[in-house]
Amino acid sequence: MMAKFLHTNINVLDLERSREFYERALGLRTLRRRDGDGFSLLFLGDGTTEHQLELTWLADRAEPYDLGDNESHIAFEVGDFASAHKAHSDMGCICYENHVMGIYFIEDPDGYWIEIIPRGE
């Protein structure tokens, strides 16, 4: 069996705040939205790959999601690592840097970690 990787889902408390973060921090853009009874789904893409990030908002959720030890993360590669680092530093969203590996992590408004890797690593 061959399977095609389509999207990664995360649940968010404020759909608009999360959309703005992913647009500003990573350049993702809204591809489509689906609204239903008590939920909204927003699919974001990078414009170069088919993989999408699905943000799910649930109307009955008010408290932050339990992310456990937060060992799960999403990874993005960037072409200009220094510029990305400066932009994320200016945004105040860098939460961990691993200088030995040459990577760092940013944190989204809901506490999810996103790994930033220089292109070619």
pLDDT at 68: 82
Give the domain range for residue 77.
7-59+73-118
pTM of the model: 0.90
> For residue 65, is it within any domain?
no
Give me the number of domains the chain comprises: 1
- Residue 37 belongs to a domain: yes
Percent of the chain exceeding pLDDT 70 equals 98
Residue 121 has pLDDT above 80, yes or no: no
Is the pLDDT reported for residue 1 higher than 90? no
The pLDDT tens digits for 70-90 are: 778 999 999 999 999 999 999
Question: The sheet that has 113-118: what strands, in order across it?
Answer: 73-78, 113-118, 103-107, 94-98
| Enzyme catalytic residues | 115
Look at residue 68 and tell me if it is in a domain.
no
Q: What is the CATH number of the domain that holds 20?
A: 3.10.180.10
Q: What are phi and psi of 84, to 5 degrees?
A: -60, -45
Buried b (16+ CB within 10 A) or exposed e, 3-24: eeeeeeebebbebeebbebbee
Cα torsion through 84, 94, 53, 14, rounded to 10: -130
Domain-located, residue 64: no
CA atoms within 13 A on the CB side of 106: 22
Q: For residue range 4-41, list pLDDT tens digits in order.
A: 889 999 999 999 999 999 999 999 999 999 999 999 99
Residues 6+ apart with CB under 8 A from 6: 50, 51, 52
Whether residue 86 lies inside any domain: the answer is yes
Q: Would 66 be classed as within a structural domain?
A: no
- DSSP 8-class letter at 92: T
